[in-house]
């Protein structure tokens, strides 16, 4: 009898009972090594490609985080921050630093003389140039700078005043700058002590020390006029040649300002008739500041009240000046000396018993200047009134 059918072991599927003798199967089960090999290699391949990317991504993914904030982006952003503020740091702070509290521990107005006079300035030189360019080395020690300008034209008179925080700073500047070359120009510093602590407080006495210089050659400049007087009188503070506003040509006369009254008086006599360029100078007294201001206002109105409506004022050929309010002690010779600095005189006449006189010039421009400068001035102890007189053709 045949043995009963046994169930398969190890979960192997049952096979149909052999029809014949049991013959071992050929080693077909060894064929899977190729698939198994492939199956074994595949996991290894995927294990290297898939599981390890986490570790490898840390190695290869490390650079990518560096790309979003690359160092180049920082370099391109930094220069604008570096170059943009520079102009503000260079130009904005200085004005604030210049007006900082005084390094010497004093304040303007303490009473000590700490103001310098500066002369021989060019027409384009303003307060900013003097403060921040010419005196840049001592800019922080300067309290204020003022250039004196003509009240009518607004043009510089060629001199000014520099106030320092202390006298020590002013002395240091005077010793180290005076006579030295000014920056960017072919001229030297001309410095001296001012007569008062500030230019605004110098008073009328400074203007009373001004002399009139007439009969100047047309090539005489401000610096030439100042130099010829400064060579003999160290207190000279400045000089200017009057220029015609319309043509720009010099009118042939000017003014010299002194700091010392004695030197001014000496110059009136010693320099009269001295040769400057091609002509001899004629020296005379200049009206004081108050009278000159009144004369300028008087002349600007376009009509002198004493001769308003008189045709002689508008007569281009009229060269006669009427002088009213004369002192009884003034004679014709003295009156000629007063008017001679303003031009060549044809004749001088003082009627007997009259407190007035007439001065006739050879040119109308000289008469105009005499009226402008001497009207309201003191002549022989009395304040005179000047206006146009009658032309020679109209005199009886």
97 plus 192 within the same structural domain: yes
Hunting for tokens 């010392």 — which residue is that? 260
At 142 the pLDDT is 94
Residue 73 in domain = no
Whether residue 309 is found in the same domain as residue 253: no
How far is residue 350's CA from residue 323's CA, in Å, rounded to a whole number? 9
Q: Of 286, 310, 336, which residue is a domain's last?
A: 286
Q: Are residues 379 and 356 in the same domain?
A: yes
Q: Beginning with the edge strand found earlier in the chain, give each strand of the sheet holding 142-149 in spatial order.
A: 142-149, 156-164, 115-119, 191-193
Distance in angstroms (rounded) separating the CA atoms of residues 223 and 241: 9
Angle among Cα 225, 231, 232 to the nearest 5 degrees reads 105
Question: Are 330 and 281 members of one domain?
Answer: no
pLDDT in tens, 192-221: 877 533 333 333 444 457 888 888 888 898
Judged against a pLDDT cut of 80, whether residue 176 lies above it is answered with: yes
Residue 53, in any domain of the structure:
no
Q: Pick from 202, 220, 248: which residue ends a domain?
A: 202
Same domain, 104 and 183: yes
Chain segment 102-127, per-residue pLDDT in tens: 333 334 444 567 888 888 788 888 99
Tokens linked to 83: 């170059």
10 lies in a domain? no
If asked whether residues 149 and 215 sit together in one domain, one would say no
Assess if residue 279 is contained within a domain. Answer: yes
Look at residue 66 and tell me if it is in a domain: no
Question: Which positions ≥6 away from 132 have C-beta within 8 Å?
Answer: 94, 98, 139
Same domain, 195 and 215: no
Domain range for 99 is: 93-202
15: pLDDT strictly greater than 80: no
For residue range 339-368, list pLDDT tens digits in order.
887 888 888 999 888 889 999 998 888 888
- Crossing angle between the packed helical segments 364-374 and 289-300, to the nearest 10 degrees: 130
- Number of folded domains that form the chain: 3
**Domain CATH number, residue 138:** 3.30.70.330
Q: Is the pLDDT of residue 292 over 50?
A: no
Of 37-41, 269-273, 282-286, 328-332, minimum mean pLDDT range: 37-41
Q: Are residues 352 and 369 in the same domain?
A: yes
Q: How far is CA 241 from CA 127, 261, 286, in A?
A: 22, 21, 14
Residue 25 lies in a domain: no
Where do we find the tokens 């401000």? Answer: 222
Query: Does residue 191 sit in the same domain as residue 213?
Result: no
Integer-rounded Cα radius of gyration of the chain: 51
Q: Please list the residues that pair with 275 across neighbouring strands.
A: 280
Of the two residues 59 and 230, the one the predictor is more confident about is: 230
pLDDT, residue 131, reads 92
pLDDT exceeds cutoff 60 at 255:
yes
Do 370 and 303 fall into the same domain? Answer: yes
Looking at residues 88-93, what average pLDDT do you find?
36
Last residue of a domain, one of 286, 304, 322: 286
Domain membership of residue 363 (yes or no) is yes
Query: What pLDDT was estimated at residue 1?
Result: 53
Question: Is residue 297 domain-shared with residue 238, that is, in the same domain?
Answer: no
Residues 123 and 155 in one domain: yes
Query: What is the per-residue pLDDT for 265?
Result: 85
Residue 23 placed within a domain: no
pLDDT at 124: 86
């Amino acid at each position: 009898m045949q043995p009963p059918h046994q169930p398969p072991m190890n979960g192997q599927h049952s096979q149909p009972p052999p029809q014949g003798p049991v013959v071992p199967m050929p080693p077909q089960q060894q064929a899977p090594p190729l698939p198994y090999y492939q199956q074994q290699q595949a996991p290894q391949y995927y294990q290297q490609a898939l599981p390890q990317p986490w570790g490898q991504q840390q190695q290869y993914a490390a650079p990518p985080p560096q790309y979003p904030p690359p160092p180049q982006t920082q370099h391109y952003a930094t220069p604008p921050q570096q170059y943009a503020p520079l102009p503000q740091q260079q130009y904005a702070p200085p004005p604030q630093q210049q007006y900082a509290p005084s390094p010497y521990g004093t304040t303007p107005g303490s009473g000590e003389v700490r103001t310098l006079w500066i002369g021989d300035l060019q027409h384009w030189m303003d307060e900013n140039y003097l403060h921040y360019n010419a005196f840049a080395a001592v800019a922080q020690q300067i309290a204020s700078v003022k250039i004196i300008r003509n009240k009518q034209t607004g043009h510089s008179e060629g001199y000014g005043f520099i106030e320092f925080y202390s006298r020590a700073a002013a002395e240091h500047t005077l010793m180290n700058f005076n006579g030295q070359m000014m920056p960017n120009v072919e001229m030297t510093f001309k410095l001296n002590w001012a007569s008062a602590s500030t230019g605004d407080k110098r008073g009328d006495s400074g203007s009373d020390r001004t002399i009139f210089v007439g009969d100047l050659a047309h090539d005489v400049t401000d610096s030439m006029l100042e130099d010829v007087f400064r060579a003999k009188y160290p207190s000279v503070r400045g000089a200017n040649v009057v220029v015609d506003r319309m043509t720009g040509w010099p009118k042939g006369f000017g003014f010299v300002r002194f700091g010392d009254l004695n030197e001014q008086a000496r110059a009136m006599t010693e320099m009269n008739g001295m040769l400057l360029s091609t002509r001899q100078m004629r020296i005379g007294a200049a009206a004081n500041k108050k009278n000159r201001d009144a004369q300028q206002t008087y002349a600007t109105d376009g009509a002198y009240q004493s001769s308003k409506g008189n045709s002689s004022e508008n007569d281009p050929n009229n060269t006669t000046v009427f002088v009213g309010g004369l002192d009884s002690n003034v004679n014709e010779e003295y009156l000629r000396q007063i008017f001679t600095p303003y031009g060549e005189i044809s004749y001088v006449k003082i009627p007997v018993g009259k407190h007035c006189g007439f001065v006739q010039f050879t040119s109308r421009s000289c008469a105009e200047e005499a009226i402008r400068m001497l009207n309201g001035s003191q002549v022989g102890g009395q304040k005179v009134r000047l206006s146009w007189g009658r032309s020679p053709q109209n005199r009886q």
